[in-house]
Structure 1
Amino acid sequence: MIAVVGSCNVDFVVPVAVLPGPGETVLGRDHLRMPGGKGANQSVAAAKLGSPVAFVGCVGDDALAPTILSALDGAGVDTSWLRRVPDAPSGIALITVADGGENTIAVSPGANARLGPADIEAAAGLLSEAAVTLVQLEISLDAVAAAVRTARGRVVLNPAPARSLPAELLASVDVLVPNRSELGVLAGAPEPTTPDEAAALAAALDGPAAVVVTLGADGALVVEDRAATHVPVSQVDAIDATGAGDAFCGALADALARAEPLVTATEWAVRVAGISTTRWGAQSSPTRDELS
């Protein structure tokens, strides 16, 4: 079982030729409304690969909630621990996607900000039994810390959106999964521009037992015991990178729950994330049948 503790949103996506700069307005094509949120995205990605997944989160009491619930239920995610918050809006993300897949994202957390330690306590039985507990940072740090403390299986933390984290929290993480910029924030250093720079920063981090750095078109980097292994990516025709990191994390959790070695799990995650960029939407990761 994989337990995912995190956010769930509805994404409003506007395809554009180029991303707008500060103060600039650009005209886009027809907008898309899709389910999203890092926690929900990662839950759906792992469930589509065949893992049993349960999601711990909060949704609003509004017209957007059914979109979120339908996507989770449709993927087979257990939503028994998804709390509906009265008088709160569901989370939303406003996304612009340029030709080629690059994007910018603004998130309004809504009900996600109401997820707290009491919700984690209510799910303590789930987190104590899960082989992998997967957490991100679109929820309160109190909820993140409570989930990490309560989990008894392998703890995977995706530190996104980027913020500095307490040393005691990082020390309880088994696998940290940052991208380049998130790694720079955690290390208190400039964003690494090469895999070698990323490897050096990841190896110098105190706390997590292992670090897997996602490098976009350069694949990923696995750092264990200060030794780095580079996992390259296969070339794909990307159209939307939204949620690619979430597809990666969901696939990584899927493989780790099946007791795969971390490098093997990362190879699987790179493959799944790459395919997800060839489709629109943050929950566009492939099923296991599509990968066979």
Structure 2
Amino acid sequence: MTKPRVLCLGEILYDFLADQAGLPLEQVQSWTPYPGGAPANVACGLAKLGTTSGFIGCIGEDDLGNSLVDLLQKVGVDGTGIQRHPTAPTRAVYVVRSETGDRTFAGFGKHDTSVFADTHLQASKLPVSLFEDAEFLVLGTLEMAYPDSREAIQQALELADQYYLKVLLDVNWRPVFWTDPAIAPAIIHDLVERADFLKLSDEEAEWLYETTDAGVIAHRVGSLEGVLVTGGEKGCAYCLSGHEGRVPAFAVEVEDTTGAGDSFAAGLLHQLCRRGIQSLQDPVVARDMVLYASAMGALTATRPGAIAAQPTAAEVEAFLYLQQQPG
């Protein structure tokens, strides 16, 4: 397999989506499992678009874990960085859906958040060879909630510095993953200082920076090459190499928003790999990259699941072509 250009580190899991939309957790009668986990979603989205990717994370030695390894292999994601834990289970998350397709994370069944295998990712077992050839490292913040995986992220950042990888951080705030959510903001702010690109939702932007203005956030952090603030149906505000703008959301029939933001990140990274970071100096190219990422996210929201719903590059390009036609 060709060495991955993008490494995605963090959680891979199963989202158990409520079959009955609009009902609270206790009233849901049945669930459908879909593979997910933000970094894994990004890795799979990239592979489907044709950009080589690798996933780094820890899963259990169980049936769920085995099926996720098989899925990554089938999609074409490099699994060299996968660690297996002999006793901790692979994470499963229960997700309830609104009538309009928006989802809410509703917990982990009978388990505490800290018992799952992903929390045990070992820094000492990160494959250095992957970092030698990669160009980007993708991180979320959920694994910063646990000591072992937090140490692994710090080690990954050291390797990214050593081998000149650019770091994209997607905040992906989910308080249910944190034993003590109050400690999260300071940890996340420190992590942002190590990133080159920051992606966050408008709610996360308000929470961390008290603004949804991408340019203001970029100025405040100072070290970022790009900030993207996604707002679902409100579109995306961005600041890339100093070029600020807003791309409106595409009008699509939403089935399920799970993983749409991760597909957005995959679309952006695919464009950065294809065109090069230096091309962001052109404001037209910068906007085109965000348009492409937005199309990737929009198409993912038209189907259920995260990885299962992701489009190919041909589908994204056909969608963008149709959007440009009159009438």
Instruction: Place the TM-score, normalised by the shorter chain, in its bin.
Output: 0.7 to 0.9
Q: Who is 2:260 aligned against? A: 244
Deviations 1:96-134 (A, max 9, x none): 112211111135461110113223xx3222123211111
Any conservation in 2 of the 1:133–1:154 contact (CA below 8 Å)?
yes
Contact 1:60 1:86 in 2 (8 A): yes
Residue equivalent to 2:324: none
Query: Which residue in 2 is equivalent to 1:160?
Result: 172
Q: Given the two structures, how large is their TM-score scaled by the length of structure 2?
A: 0.78
Show CA shifts across 1:228-284 (max 9, x none). Answer: 211122100001001111111122121112215343322211000000000000111
Q: 2:231 aligns with which of 202, 215, 236?
A: 215
Q: Give the counterpart of 2:150 among 136, 141, 160.
A: 141
Aligned-partner Cα distance in 1 for 2:94–2:48: 25
Shift of 1:166: 5.9
1:260-279 residue pairs with structure 2 within 5 A? 261=280, 262-279=286-303
Q: Distance in 1 between matches of 2:150 and 2:287?
A: 29
Go from structure 1 to structure 2 and tell me whether the alpha carbon gap of 1:147 and 1:19 turns closer, same or farther (over 3 Å shift).
farther
Question: By how many angstroms is 1:48 displaced?
Answer: 0.5
Q: CA contact under 8 A between 1:158 and 1:177: conserved in structure 2?
A: yes
Q: What is the letter of the counterpart of residue 202 of structure 2?
A: R
Tell me how far apart the structure 1 counterparts of residues 247 and 34 of structure 2 sit (CA, whole Å): 30
Q: CA RMSD in A?
A: 2.2
Q: Which residue, 266, 272, 297 being the options, matches 1:256?
A: 272
Name 1:37's counterpart in structure 2: 37
Find the aligned partners of 1:138 and 1:67 in 2 and give their Cα distance. 22
Q: Which amino acid aligns with 1:26?
A: Q
**One-letter amino acid matched to 2:232:** G
1:286 alignment partner in structure 2: 311
Query: Structure 2 CA distance, aligned partners of 1:27 and 1:249?
Result: 31
8 A contact 1:170–1:207 mirrored in 2: no
- The aligned length equals 280
Q: Which residue of 1 aligns with 2:203?
A: 181
Pick the structure with more helix per residue. 2
Partner of 2:325: none
Consecutive unaligned residues in structure 2, runs of 5 or more? 144-148, 175-183, 281-285, 318-327
Q: d(CA) in 2 for partners of 1:160 and 1:285?
A: 18
Between the aligned residues of both structures, percent identity stands at 26
- The 1:81–1:286 alpha-carbon spacing in structure 2 relative to 1, beyond 3 Å, is same
1:223 to partner: Cα distance:
1.6
Q: Indicate if the aligned counterparts of 1:36 and 1:68 stay in contact, CA closer than 8 A.
A: no
Give the alignment's TM-score, normalised by structure 1: 0.87
Q: Where does structure 1 lack aligned partners over 5 or more consecutive residues? A: none
User: 1:1-292 maps to which residues of 2 (within 5 A)?
Assistant: 1-20=5-24, 25-28=26-29, 30-105=30-105, 106=107, 108=113, 110-119=116-125, 122-139=126-143, 140-151=149-160, 152-161=164-173, 163-164=184-185, 165=187, 169-187=191-209, 189=210, 192=211, 197=213, 199-224=215-240, 228-258=244-274, 259=276, 261=280, 262-283=286-307, 284-292=309-317
1:62-116 deviation per Cα after TM superposition (whole angstroms, max 9, x unaligned): 1211221122111100111111111110011111112211111135461110113
